[in-house]
Structure formats: structure tokens, C-alpha cells
Amino acid sequence: MWQKMYAWLDERVGFDGLYKNLLDRPEPHGNWWNTLGSASLFLFVMQGLTGIFLTVYYAPTPDHAYDSIQYIMNGVAFGWLIRGIHHWGATLMVLVVFIHMLRVFFSASYKYPRELTWMVGVFLFLLTLGMGFTGYLLPFNQRSYWATVVGTNIAGVVPGVGGFILKALRGGTDVSALTLSRFFSAHIWMLPAALAGLIGVHLYLIMRHGESDYPDADD
Amino acid sequence: MASSNRISRRDFVKVTTAALGSIMGVVLGIPIVGYLIDPALKAQSGEALIPLGPLENFPIGTPKAFSFTRSNINGWEKTVNSYGGFVLRKSELEILVLSNRCTHLSCSVNWEEARGEYVCPCHDAQFGSEGEVLGGPPPHPLDRYEANVEEGTLMIRFPATPYQEG
């Protein structure tokens, strides 16, 4: 029966073509540094999943943000695990994405015809930093509050439009309930949506061009 | 292949990937399910014995009001609710504890000594000294608290039980 179901699905989906186009790619002579892109993708998916589960209990308001996280850590079964993965995964993701970028730079993989892959990748890195910055405020403890005060102040020193950027980031002159809810919105909707879309473009470009070979003695 | 029962490299990788994937799925899946259903597993009974003070504080024959608060913790949110009622000590050991919550729309009823009945301020419902409906809209008599005396202290069991016929 399973074979029949598989055949029915395969006829309509075309698993063979999917496999050939998506996964069956030749790798240039094996190198662990080439796995960092996949590692970044894995971390993105894991952050997405644990983040979705965290929203079950997290409340993005100044009254409840801190208490709801205390509850996740101490009151809910395995809450410490889900948040622990999200917390450390965030740090790891910034690190892995950055090392991935360094690898691409040092192996000169950004050159023709992969310039667009590189440009999209730079935006992916910036978006990852944005995820880190917005996520840092959400526990709403002293450290996250003051980090956001300082971080948004830095944006405020831009000549001319700095004051406006500061207010737009904070949703007013102070780091407040509005800041928390807009950072939350950015953290769970806007930035992940942008990341997911650009990851799609990034992956398409990689499938189209294949991975770059390392230069050898002839080059 | 020299012999047919030797597993090929490709099959080995497939089986290992499937096995490790299944193990990881279970190891991650159980905590996630536990995390999601956790509040449902923590049954809050809410039952408690509430001390109302020494029995001699309650005079025989007239209802005496009492009140207490109960706090309820849901996740990180704590709510405090007030409850109240009347203790009617009919004789030395026969004690009737009524809730003061009107069975119509949950207003607090008051004991009117002159009329000898409980009167609800909202819709002028009247209850007799034993909680029975004398007039007005309430569908059934006042709820009762199960009461007993331990070492001279009057205790009631929270929550109140609805009055039952017979």
C-alpha cells in the first residue's frame, strides 16, 4: 500500500527530479569549510522552530516579558531546553554565518558568476545580526534594556536623520512598551520573512551555479 | 559484490541516516510535546481547608459574616479573588455555612436581622436563614461550605458546594 501511495505522489510531485535538482550536486573536493552554509541553514531552521515554541508562553509586554521567561525557564516542562537551544543557537548562528562569509571571502568564491550570491549573502548576514539585536531585548531584563538603549543611541548619532532613526527604532523617544512590541514583531515576523525569502534566492543561486572549486596549482 | 549479504556502502549510509534521524526526532519530539501540553498536566485542584477562627467567636442563633481571599496562579499571572459567607450556628455543634454569593447573578447577599432573611441588593432576592429561596429571581438556594471543627477552630472546605435537593 505504501508503494502505491508513493507511486501516486511520485507521479504528481516527481521526487526523482526534486532529488536530482536539489540534492544531487557534485561537491568540489571535500572540505569541511564548505559545510558552513548548510550549518547556517540548519541553525536558521532550528531557531525558527524553537522560536515558534517559545511564543507559546512568551508575552511581549513590559509587565509580563520577564515573568513569562522566568516561567518558561522554571515552570514549563523542558522550557529551559527550548529556550537554551534558542539562546545558544542565536550566538552560534551569528558565529557560523560570519565564518561562512569569511570562508567565501578567502576562497574567492564571490567572483563571477557568483557575485549576486555574495550580495544576497551579505544581506543575510546583516539580517542575522538584526535578529540578534531585536532578540536581545525580548527577555526585558536590565542587560537587554540597557543594551537596547545603547544600541539605538548608536543609530541616533547618524548626522541629520539620526534623531528620526532613533525614534523610529524605539517607537518614541524612550525604550518602552512600544520598543518591546516592535522589536518582537521584527524578531518573529519581518526579519524571519526577509531571511527566508533571501535564503530561497541564495539557495537557488547556489543550485544554479554549483559550488566554486578551490584554486589549484594551474590557476 | 562478492556475497549478497554484505551491506553496500550506500545502504549502510541510508540505514544509519534513517536510524539516527529517528532517534533525534524522538529525542527532540518528546520534550516539545511535553513543553506544549505541560499546563494541561498540572491539574489545579484549588481545594483547601479555610480556618475561620475559634468556634466561640460565632454566636448561636444569628448568622455571622466572614470573608477570605484565595489567590490563583496561572503561569506567571496571579489573581486574587475574594469570597465570603455566613456562619449560622444553630446549636452548640450544628453549624451551617452559607456562601454569600447570590445564585442569580453572583451579587453578595446581606443578612437583614430585622427581616430575618438574606437580601440581595441587586434584584431584591430573598433567602431564608438556611439559604432557601423565599422570593425573587434566584434559581436555587445559596451554596454551602462543608464545615467541621478541629481543636476548637471552625474550618470550611473550599470551594463551596451547590445546594442539593433532598
- DSSP percent split of chain A into helix, strand, coil, nearest 5: 75, 0, 25
pLDDT band per the 50, 70, 90 thresholds, residue A147? very high
Collect all residues of chain B within an 8 Å Cβ-Cβ radius of residue A82: 31-32, 35
Checking if the pLDDT of A161 tops 80, the result is yes
Average pLDDT, integer, range A74-95: 96
Contact (CB<8Å) A79/B35? yes
What is the nearest CA distance from A67 to chain B, expressed in angstroms? 6
Using an 8 Å CB-CB cutoff, list chain B residues near A71: 75-76
Counting beta carbons within 10 angstroms of the beta carbon of residue B131, is it exposed (0 to 12), middle (13 to 18) or buried (19 or more)?
Answer: buried
Please, which pLDDT band fits residue A83 given cuts at 50, 70 and 90? very high
Is the CB of A77 less than 8 angstroms away from the CB of B35? yes
CATH class of A37-209: mainly alpha
Average pLDDT over residues B123-136: 90
A71 touches chain B (CB under 8 A): yes
User: Beta partners for B97?
Assistant: B87, B145
Q: pLDDT band at residue B1, thresholds of 50, 70 and 90?
A: very low
Mutate to test the interface with A, among B36, B38, B76 (most CBs of A within 10 A): B76
Q: How far apart are CA A23 and CA A31, in angstroms?
A: 17
The least confident of A19-33, B82-96, B147-161 is: A19-33
- Is the model's pLDDT at A144 over the cut of 70? yes
> Is residue A156 scored above 50 in pLDDT?
yes
Reported as a single tens digit per residue, the pLDDT across A196-214 is 999 999 999 998 888 887 7
Per-residue pLDDT reduced to its tens digit, A9-22 = 999 998 888 888 78
pTM of the prediction? Answer: 0.81
Q: Which residue of A has its CA nearest to B31?
A: A78
Domain segments of chain A: what residues?
A: 37-209
Burial A101-115 (b: 16+ CB within 10 A, else e): bebbeebebbeeebe
Task: Specify the pLDDT at position B60.
Answer: 85
Min Cα–Cα distance to chain A from B28, Å: 10
The answer to whether the CB atoms of B31 and A82 lie below 8 A apart is yes
Asked if the model's pLDDT at residue B36 lies above 60, the reply is yes
> What band does A145 get if pLDDT is binned at 50, 70 and 90?
very high
Residue in chain B nearest A85 by alpha carbon? B28
All three cell numbers of B47:
481545594
Could A71 and B75 be called an inter-chain contact, meaning their C-beta atoms sit closer than 8 Å? yes
Chain-chain contact of A78 with B76 (C-beta, under 8 angstroms): no
Q: Is A57 on the interface with B (CB under 8 A)?
A: yes
Whether residue A75 and residue B41 make contact (CB cut-off 8 A), yes or no, is: no
ipTM of the complex model: 0.83
Please state, rounded to an integer, the average pLDDT across all residues of chain A: 93
Highest-confidence segment of A139-143, B95-99, B153-157: A139-143
**Is it true that the peptide bond before B159 is cis, omega within 30 degrees of 0?**
yes
Closest-CA residue of A relative to B35 is A77
